[in-house]
Amino acid sequence: SGEPGEPRSWEPGPALIEDILSKPSVRKAPAGPSPRSGMPAPSSPLCALEELASKTFQGLEVNVLQAAEGRDPLGAFGPRPASRKRRKSRTAFTNQQLYALEKRFLFQKYLAPADRDHLAQQLGLSNAQVITWFQNRRAKLKRDLEEMKADVESLKKLPPAALESLAGLAEPPGPEPCSEEEIEVDD
């Protein structure tokens, strides 16, 4: 299948890092297409490039597979840098913890260290979790306030008739007015 325009297929051989990093050796091969794939002889520049690329990618695939299996892949990229601390997974707060945190946030947006320590101990959380929760909650409050301001600004741009119709939608239905017959008056 060495016809022009046809897709070429070739199978990479075993790849070793040493093969990639070592000096290229000159191979003596017969001229013309190789018998297994119809490709140019191994001594051609195209074949050498394909072989080098296949070994490079095969080495990368081995590293990726080893990393996925939890093994430490040695090789192509040299020794690993000192590993950083793994990121802690997201905390799933209980309803009781959330209620206590929200209740405290209503009164105090920033906690003093002593208050934070007490709250963390009371809720069975670490200081870092309480700090992070309060930071995130203040950020959420800020976003919510900015969104409300934007809503108010957009409402200000509406014509009065549109505002009146919106106001009519917002009013909750009240109790029906009582007739004079229904009103009981104790004398």
Q: What is the pTM of this model?
A: 0.44
pLDDT digits (tens, 9 = 90+) for 147-158: 999 999 998 888
Q: Are residues 157 and 114 in the same domain?
A: yes
**Judgement on whether residues 100 and 160 belong to the same structural domain of the protein:** yes
In a domain, 90, yes or no: no
Cβ atoms of 8 and 49 within 8 Å: the answer is no
Residue 173 pLDDT: 66
Sign of the torsion angle spanned by Cα atoms 51, 57, 63, 65: negative
Q: How far apart are CA 111 and CA 117, in angstroms?
A: 9
Residue 129 maps to which CATH number? 1.10.10.60
Residue 139 lies in a domain: yes
Residues 118 and 161 in one domain: yes
Q: What was the pLDDT predicted at 165?
A: 82
For residues 61 and 112, state if they share a domain. no
Helix (H) or strand (E) holding 168: helix 160-170
* Residue 142 placed within a domain: yes
What's the length of the chain?
Answer: 187
Which parts of the chain sit beneath pLDDT 50? 29, 34
Measured distance CA(20)–CA(59) in Å, rounded: 9
Handedness of CA 21, 22, 24, 25 (dihedral sign): negative
Return d(Cα 179, Cα 157) in angstroms, integer. Answer: 41
User: pLDDT digits over 60-78, tens only?
Assistant: 555 555 655 555 555 555 5
User: What domain count does the chain have?
Assistant: 2
Query: Of 22, 15, 18, nearest to 56 (Cα)?
Result: 15
Helices (H), 69-159: 95-107, 113-123, 127-156
116 and 156: one domain? yes
The amino acid sitting at 65 is L
Q: Is residue 76 part of a domain?
A: no
Structural domain of 154: 95-166
Within a domain: 8: no
Is position 59 within any domain?
yes
